[in-house]
A and B are shown apart, each in its own frame.
Chain A
Amino acid sequence: AQSVTQLDSQVPVFEEAPVELRCNYSSSVSVYLFWYVQYPNQGLQLLLKYLSGSTLVKGINGFEAEFNKSQTSFHLRKPSVHISDTAEYFCAVTVNQAGTALIFGKGTTLSVSS
């Protein structure tokens, strides 16, 4: 079975500072990895995904993530955050098979203040 651990439940940062949201996963088989963002009172929106190939993945809104197989990590980064990045961020994993469900981490609340 797969599992996802998001190491920080809350991350407060100041505007224009860099941020890293940490995610570790556990799986005995190959996985696909995802980061989703949830703004208040909204559904989840895909930020980026890793399927294969380059371990550095670029997503929307200036976010990127790096897949590290040896450390089973998929940390999300942004060099300079904005107030509008305040949201809940979810790391998710699914097995390397079409049509299977996502297993989510507990989420990290990113709070950006001025």
Chain B
Amino acid sequence: DSGVTQTPKHLITATGQRVTLRCSPRSGDLSVYWYQQSLDQGLQFLIQYYNGEERAKGNILERFSAQQFPDLHSELNLSSLELGDSALYFCASSAAGWGNEQYFGPGTRLTVT
């Protein structure tokens, strides 16, 4: 158990819909990262938050957005969903400082039909 929790575990929705994925980092970790894992693209970094502020952006679509709340949990919002958005979405957290060791949650499997 990494200490990172993600809900829900599975999500099935239709094209055009909007969903919210939730992540709670390990106790004390200030950084939260979101990654997308798909068969064709592999594991890709989407976005990072540090103590409530956006720190870095990767290959995140404009239809996707995220935020980190004062209690440090984070939400990834995916809107106008397309079939190609079906993937595993991972959240990871890390402590501030040297080493960049990231602890991954179990993921949310999103299926868009």
Contacts and interface: CB of A to CB of B under 8 A. Distances in A.
25 contacts: A32-B100, A34-B101, A43-B2, A43-B4, A43-B90, A43-B104, A43-B105, A43-B106, A44-B90, A45-B2, A46-B102, A51-B98, A94-B100, A98-B98, A99-B31, A99-B48, A99-B56, A100-B48, A100-B100, A101-B33, A102-B35, A102-B102, A104-B35, A104-B42, A106-B42
B18 interface: no
Given A104-B43, A106-B42, A107-B43, A99 B2 contact: no
B99 A49 contact: yes
B45 A102 contact: yes
Interface of B: 2, 4, 31, 33, 35, 42-45, 48, 50, 55-56, 58, 90, 92, 94, 96-107
